[in-house]
């Protein structure tokens, strides 16, 4: 915990239209206690400008993904420069849906991290194990492999917020218990201390993601190594304010 500022990310995924977004912006502008908590929301790419121009300037806006080069023949993708051109300063990379629905590999995600940082974006890289990996006792093996691909590509950790999202708990209404989540976060800090350095291990904010909701957020927020949440579906509902204010 220490000096790590609590961080709440809202990943809207492929949801929303302008009318629904207006409602979300209204409750965020009204209810989010942004002085004590860093809040960042990630709308679909086509709404980045719409959201950024209407949302409280203290709330960050993130893209949900981007590519590893500045421009070119990459139909359907966006670059860090485009995200910045819409006055947004964050990007989520390596989300489990990008890995498992769209087939992005560790190497590509690492390259994206390197390029986004080089271009001046802040990044929220995601790692997580599937149910069969957890049941086979391979959680740390999988996470550390994913971490290495990211860490090998990061020079400036001050622009990174890591998200641990167990794949088995995303959109399944299964949540890792606060103890399970804390255990993984502790192991990740140990890995960082051994493979990066003690300062990064101490200062890096590690978020928990995976069916976080208004009902379980306060218990999770009490754990010393959980520095916030990356929230999916619940970030589209007014309950999101309860999550944002989980540590108040």
Q: Decide: 143 and 164 in contact? Cβ < 8 Å.
A: yes
Annotated catalytic residue within 38, 97, 129, 165 = 165
Kindly name the residue from 95, 97, 104, 133 that is annotated as catalytic: 95
Q: Which residues of 103-122 are buried (b: 16+ CB within 10 A; e: fewer)?
A: ebebebbbbbbbbbbebebb
CB 37 within 8 A of CB 8: yes
Active site residue 165: yes
CB neighbour burial string for 147-157, b if at least 16 within 10 angstroms, e if fewer:
bebbbebbeeb
135 as an active site residue: the answer is no
CB-CB contact of 119 with 155 (8 Å): no
Comparing CA positions, the residue from 204, 222, 220, 202 lying closest to residue 212 is 220
H/E run at residue 94: none
Active site residues: 95, 165
């Amino acid at each position: 915990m220490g000096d790590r500022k609590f961080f709440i990310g809202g990943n809207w995924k492929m949801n929303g239209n302008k009318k629904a977004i207006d409602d979300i912006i209204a409750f965020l502008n009204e209810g989010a206690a942004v002085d004590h908590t860093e809040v960042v929301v990630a709308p679909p790419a086509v709404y980045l400008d719409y959201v950024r121009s209407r949302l409280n300037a203290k709330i960050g806006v993130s893209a949900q993904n981007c590519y590893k080069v500045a421009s070119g023949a990459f139909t359907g993708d966006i670059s860090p420069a485009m995200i910045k051109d819409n006055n947004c300063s964050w990007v989520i990379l390596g989300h489990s849906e990008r890995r498992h629905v769209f087939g992005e590999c560790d190497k590509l995600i690492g390259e994206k991290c390197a390029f986004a940082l080089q271009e001046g974006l802040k990044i929220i890289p995601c790692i997580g194990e599937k149910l069969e990996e957890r049941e086979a006792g391979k959680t740390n093996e999988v996470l550390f492999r994913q971490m290495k691909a990211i860490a090998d590509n990061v020079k400036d950790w001050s622009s990174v917020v890591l998200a641990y999202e167990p794949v088995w708990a995303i959109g399944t209404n299964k949540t890792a218990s606060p103890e399970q989540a804390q255990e993984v976060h502790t192991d990740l800090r140990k890995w960082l201390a051994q493979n990066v350095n003690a300062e990064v291990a101490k200062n890096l904010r590690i978020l928990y993601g995976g069916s976080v909701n208004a009902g379980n957020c306060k218990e999770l927020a009490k754990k010393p190594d959980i520095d916030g949440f990356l929230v999916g579906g619940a970030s589209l509902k007014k309950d999101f304010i309860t999550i944002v204010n989980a540590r108040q």
